Structure 1
Amino acid sequence: EIDAASNNGVDNIRQLREDAYFAPGQAKYRVYIIDETHMLSTGAFNALLKIMEEPPPHVLFILATTEVHKVPATILSRCQRFDFRRIGSEDIAGYLEKIAQKEGVVLEHSAGLLIGKLADGGMRDAVSLLDLCISHGGAVTAEVVAQAAGLAGSGHLLALAKAFSEKNTASSLEQIGTLHDKSMDMERLCGDLVAFYRDLMLLKTVEKPERLIVALPEEMEEMKPLAKRLSLSQILYTLSVLQEAQNRMSRTANRRTELEMSVVRICNPAMDSSADSILARLEDLEAAVRRGVLADPPALSEGRADEEAPVAKGRPKPEKQEAVLAAQAEPAAKTVVSALGDLSEAQPFGAWQEVLGRLLKTNPPLFAALKNSDAYEKGDLMLIDAKNDLFFKLIRENEFAKDSLRDALLAQTGRRYRLGPYRPQGQSPAKPEADPLETLLRSAKTAGIPVEEK
């Protein structure tokens, strides 16, 4: 076996070539394992290529590398390629349980899964970590694995993330100051926050995130409510700000200041003009409009954000105000699909195409039914002039269609409309066509032809 990282010169490969031509003394083949092959120099690769083009019948080369793209194509074309992939955490846990059973050690399944995640798909690292956990004595639990692997608790990260979500700048800076006084490295703290928000992103987007997140089960349960409360835009914005701070920390001596500046930006997105910040603020505003209340501006670092602001006399508190608005919006949300009286006051609705664009993303069938349609606004009533009768059928029979159209109008205008059909003044509903059989019967009776009806 040859380590190409330390034997990467032309002379090393030339010596290998000279030795390779000698027949093996005992075995049938002479096997050369070249580890970290991508570390060979260009001259060494050229020297290796000469013997690989016409190798002796008793010589086999095994080239191992983690960066196959750095190996020249002339070498790859003369090799059989086998790609080894990471082993799944469940498979690693199952194999470790077999080892523990043979050794007479109690290994909890959750501990085996945690070892599998920490090993990152490597069985050798997993067995080494299990050996280290067994040396602690007693049963191998998830807590023992966390202690042996040096996993730091995520309690301080969860507290910081909650302060970020509440836009509480003062509390966030106080917590960072406390951690700094405990001699915690600020660059390490920033990296831990990046990893923590990466876990929140996975909890928000992946159906089964347990396979991708390295955390204790109780820590996972504590993270789920926070991930549910935060929007994906907020998580991505916080991730981008923290990663920028982590990159700058390597170029400055005052790392604490860099982290504190980033925390102020996270708690006050209005101070940031980046695209991620604007998207996060827009999503907060849209969510507030859907609830029927305006979002309060985030409090700056002067004073605590959790202090209750004075309420003007006679003005209801936000919770009561939201309940009142919701109660007022409830009767207005009922759909009205009926013939209307005078429509002379109805005005063309100018943002109808934008509403249809939103429907294309949320309800494509309804969008197709509204093709070439127009809309007219009359107070809180939105009148739809649709050419396709399928639209009226969907509105009458499908609650999802009605909710989709209401939500699209609400997202575009901030108002909740009642829905109705538009019929221009003087136009009456089309009369149904006469039954041909009835017409034939009337004609026969008029002509005096006896007709027997059964």
Structure 2
Amino acid sequence: MQKGVSTVYQALYRKWRPRSFDDVVSQPHVTTVLKNQIVAEKTAHAYLFTGSRGTGKTTCARIFAKAINCRNPQDGEPCLECDICKAAENGTLPDIIEIDGASNSSVNDVRELREGVIYTPEMCRYKVYIIDEAHMITTQAFNALLKTMEEPPEHVKFILATTEVHKVPETIVSRCQHFDFNRIRSEDIVARLKYIASEEGFGMTDDAALMIARLSDGGMRDALSLLDRCSAYADNIDMSVVSNAAGIAGREYLYDLLDMIAAKDTAGAVRMTDELHGKSKDLKVLCGELLAQLRNVMLIRSTDGARDLIVCMPEEFGRLQTLASKMSLDRIFECIAILQQTNDRFARAADKRIEFEMCMVRLCTAGSSRPAAAAENNTDIGELKAQIAALTKAVNSGTAAAIPIAETAPKKPEIPQKPKKKFDPNNFTPLEEWQEILEIIEKSAPTIWAFLKNSLACIEGETFCVVVASEWYLKRFRESNDRVMLKKIIKDYYGKDFEFKIYTSSSVDITEKENPINELIKRAKSLNVEVEIKSK
């Protein structure tokens, strides 16, 4: 190296990006088909590569673009020696065009692409368009691209890559050969990490490689990025280095909080919430961390401690086992459901701290009341065990034995329920929070809100009642799908299901100024149309 000249460091995931199909791991169902198509010269005009991040979608697109244009292809692989391959790897080949769908998503961008498609390649056999993050392209832009993708010129190939295939229109998907990339297996990531570590000149333990593989969640790019961070900590990478680099060290607060939830220590959990909030801990992130650890507790409880399914440090596994022994599976399920509900409610919470404190109280009191049906079931099981024991003893001794039969307690006469009072839409106490719910309805379903904005509501037992002025809307409500939308909004707000009924009331003035019907009457009169309002 010349004095005063420094080399630019390149991230490991870029430096060790696969250059041929044989280097791609865990995707044989994709690479084999693509290689066979290249050998047989039966490549499609458009491809769609889908899958989670870091699984090789863009990498395979680049290799495919090189291979079909390579001057000396070898069994469907690029030779990596010709001028085409070298220019493609340097990013200087004008006939392989990579487009970022996020920043080129408009109709004008697609129009420019269509104008460029008609020109023949400068150096290669095919002009290849690789569109990354394809789901970010607008529907209008996709519609403008439809005809070109369906019948492109013979010298053009399209490759679309996306992590969210459900956002790509079906009309586009149907015009492409679709390949779904799997998450990369942990053992393949471990093997790749150890190979790269040896080539880069730093040591790595097997446990550290396995922990990086688990933390990367099936993405090779994430694994190599974490390996990059670990190499900055130390030349010999072990579990402690991985925990520090990944930010999973010092999580005692998380397990202390879970211990309090398991012990139903409401006061302690709320105090710790206050302490973490004071340290500027993001409560939404904390909610996600609790969910991840309760998932681990659930797996330990339900699979007899399947270590290979759980992502944690070795010293944390013992605490998770202790937690699993303290909590029943039903209570774990209930706690997970509460945390998921809280996570969803954060978006519309006025104060996240209050929302999280409510969550802590609910978690600490979850499963405190045991259903009577469960107790009866356990009693039945105990009686059944006694009968089986008696039968076993009788069989072994060769004598008849009296089988204990549980005495059936005389059934108590059922007390007839008092008839429910019929709801009177002209005489009830309105809900104070109905206006707040109407604001949510206005954002989600403005058409429904237009008819409900002057309405009133109340809760009668398990029924949610809404009182409107319009007989016409009552008829529309019965015939439309409004009930489903309103029931969902009410369930999200209160966290429980209600029966939903709508009434009209004489106490709501139909001539009220803001009533939507009056706007129709006003328009009719302006057009000299006679209008007659009939009162019952």
TM-score range, shorter chain: 0.5 to 0.7
Deviation of 1:153 (Å): 3.3
Deviation of 1:283 (Å): 5.7
Q: Which amino acid aligns with 2:315?
A: E
Q: Does 1:168 align with 2:274?
A: no
Question: Secondary structure, in 3 states, of the residue corresponding to 1:7?
Answer: coil
| Contact kept in structure 1, 2:338 and 2:359, CA below 8 Å | yes
Q: Does 1:53 align with 2:147?
A: no
Aligned position for 1:34: 131
Report the identity percentage: 44
Task: State which of 201, 215, 230 in structure 2 corresponds to 1:104.
Answer: 201
Aligned position for 1:357: none
| Contact kept in structure 2, 1:233 and 1:283, CA below 8 Å | no
Matches within 5 A, 1:170-209: 170-206=267-303, 209=306
Taking structure 1 as reference, are residues 174 and 283 closer, same or farther at Cα in structure 2, changes over 3 Å only? Answer: farther
Taking structure 1 as reference, are residues 290 and 37 closer, same or farther at Cα in structure 2, changes over 3 Å only? Answer: same
- Taking the aligned partners of 1:348 and 1:220, their CA distance within structure 2 comes to 47
- Taking the aligned partners of 1:339 and 1:233, their CA distance within structure 2 comes to 41
- Taking the aligned partners of 1:197 and 1:157, their CA distance within structure 2 comes to 11
Q: Which amino acid aligns with 1:80?
A: Q
Aligned position for 1:43: 140
Question: Secondary structure, in 3 states, of the residue corresponding to 2:187?
Answer: helix
- Taking the aligned partners of 1:200 and 1:347, their CA distance within structure 2 comes to 38
Aligned position for 2:237: 140
Mark the structure with the bigger radius of gyration. 1
Matches within 5 A, 1:405-420: none
| Contact kept in structure 1, 2:234 and 2:241, CA below 8 Å | no
Taking structure 1 as reference, are residues 144 and 238 closer, same or farther at Cα in structure 2, changes over 3 Å only? Answer: same
- Taking the aligned partners of 1:110 and 1:23, their CA distance within structure 2 comes to 53
Question: Secondary structure, in 3 states, of the residue corresponding to 2:203?
Answer: coil
| Contact kept in structure 1, 2:335 and 2:366, CA below 8 Å | no
Taking structure 1 as reference, are residues 29 and 236 closer, same or farther at Cα in structure 2, changes over 3 Å only? Answer: same
- Taking the aligned partners of 1:55 and 1:187, their CA distance within structure 2 comes to 47
Q: Which amino acid aligns with 2:175?
A: R
Task: State which of 336, 361, 364 in structure 2 corresponds to 1:264.
Answer: 361
After superposition, what is the alpha-carbon deviation per residue over 1:62-111, rounded to whole angstroms, capped at 9, x for unaligned?
Answer: 11111223323332222211111110122111100011111221111121
Task: State which of 105, 112, 123 in structure 2 corresponds to 1:15.
Answer: 112
- Taking the aligned partners of 1:110 and 1:91, their CA distance within structure 2 comes to 14
- Taking the aligned partners of 2:241 and 2:374, their CA distance within structure 1 comes to 42
Matches within 5 A, 1:325-340: 335=391, 337=394, 338-339=399-400
Aligned position for 1:225: 322
| Contact kept in structure 1, 2:305 and 2:321, CA below 8 Å | no
Taking structure 1 as reference, are residues 21 and 210 closer, same or farther at Cα in structure 2, changes over 3 Å only? Answer: farther
Aligned position for 1:82: 179
After superposition, what is the alpha-carbon deviation per residue over 1:18-54, rounded to whole angstroms, capped at 9, x for unaligned?
Answer: 2112111111111100112222223322222212222
- Taking the aligned partners of 1:3 and 1:175, their CA distance within structure 2 comes to 45
User: Could you say what the CA RMSD is over the residues aligned between the two structures, in angstroms?
Assistant: 3.5
Aligned position for 1:116: 213
User: TM-score normalized by structure 2?
Assistant: 0.51
Task: Provide structure 2 residue ranges, at least 5 long, that are not aligned to the other structure.
Answer: 1-97, 411-536
- Taking the aligned partners of 1:263 and 1:59, their CA distance within structure 2 comes to 58
Question: Secondary structure, in 3 states, of the residue corresponding to 2:180?
Answer: coil
Deviation of 1:269 (Å): 3.7
Taking structure 1 as reference, are residues 89 and 285 closer, same or farther at Cα in structure 2, changes over 3 Å only? Answer: farther
Aligned position for 1:91: 188
Question: Secondary structure, in 3 states, of the residue corresponding to 1:86?
Answer: coil
- Taking the aligned partners of 2:380 and 2:290, their CA distance within structure 1 comes to 31
| Contact kept in structure 2, 1:154 and 1:219, CA below 8 Å | no
Q: Which amino acid aligns with 2:345?
A: R
Deviation of 1:174 (Å): 3.3
Deviation of 1:139 (Å): 1.0
Question: Secondary structure, in 3 states, of the residue corresponding to 1:61?
Answer: strand
Taking structure 1 as reference, are residues 167 and 287 closer, same or farther at Cα in structure 2, changes over 3 Å only? Answer: farther
Deviation of 1:121 (Å): 1.3
- Taking the aligned partners of 2:285 and 2:236, their CA distance within structure 1 comes to 31
Deviation of 1:259 (Å): 2.5
| Contact kept in structure 1, 2:211 and 2:242, CA below 8 Å | yes
After superposition, what is the alpha-carbon deviation per residue over 1:318-375, rounded to whole angstroms, capped at 9, x for unaligned?
Answer: xxxxxxxxxxx9999655534469x9x9898699xxxxxxxxxxxxxxxxxxxxxxxx
Taking structure 1 as reference, are residues 194 and 64 closer, same or farther at Cα in structure 2, changes over 3 Å only? Answer: same
Question: Secondary structure, in 3 states, of the residue corresponding to 2:204?
Answer: coil
After superposition, what is the alpha-carbon deviation per residue over 1:215-270, rounded to whole angstroms, capped at 9, x for unaligned?
Answer: 11221232123213321101011112222233333333433333333322332347
| Contact kept in structure 1, 2:331 and 2:366, CA below 8 Å | no
Aligned position for 2:346: 249
| Contact kept in structure 2, 1:110 and 1:142, CA below 8 Å | yes
Q: Does 1:62 align with 2:190?
A: no
Q: Which amino acid aligns with 2:208?
A: A
Paired residues, number: 307
- Taking the aligned partners of 2:405 and 2:139, their CA distance within structure 1 comes to 78
- Taking the aligned partners of 1:166 and 1:291, their CA distance within structure 2 comes to 28
Q: Does 1:3 align with 2:79?
A: no
Question: Secondary structure, in 3 states, of the residue corresponding to 1:62?
Answer: strand
| Contact kept in structure 2, 1:89 and 1:211, CA below 8 Å | no
Deviation of 1:205 (Å): 2.7
Task: Provide structure 1 residue ranges, at least 5 long, that are not aligned to the other structure.
Answer: 272-276, 293-328, 352-454
- Taking the aligned partners of 1:96 and 1:183, their CA distance within structure 2 comes to 35
| Contact kept in structure 1, 2:121 and 2:155, CA below 8 Å | yes
Question: Secondary structure, in 3 states, of the residue corresponding to 1:64?
Answer: strand
After superposition, what is the alpha-carbon deviation per residue over 1:266-286, rounded to whole angstroms, capped at 9, x for unaligned?
Answer: 323478xxxxx766x876897
User: TM-score normalized by structure 1?
Assistant: 0.59
The ranges of structure 1 where at least 4 consecutive aligned residues each deviate by more than 6 angstroms after the TM superposition are 284-292, 329-332, 345-348
| Contact kept in structure 1, 2:339 and 2:359, CA below 8 Å | yes
Aligned position for 2:42: none
Deviation of 1:186 (Å): 3.1
Q: Which amino acid aligns with 2:351?
A: N
Aligned position for 2:226: 129
- Taking the aligned partners of 2:298 and 2:165, their CA distance within structure 1 comes to 31
Deviation of 1:2 (Å): 0.8
| Contact kept in structure 1, 2:126 and 2:156, CA below 8 Å | yes
- Taking the aligned partners of 1:24 and 1:288, their CA distance within structure 2 comes to 80
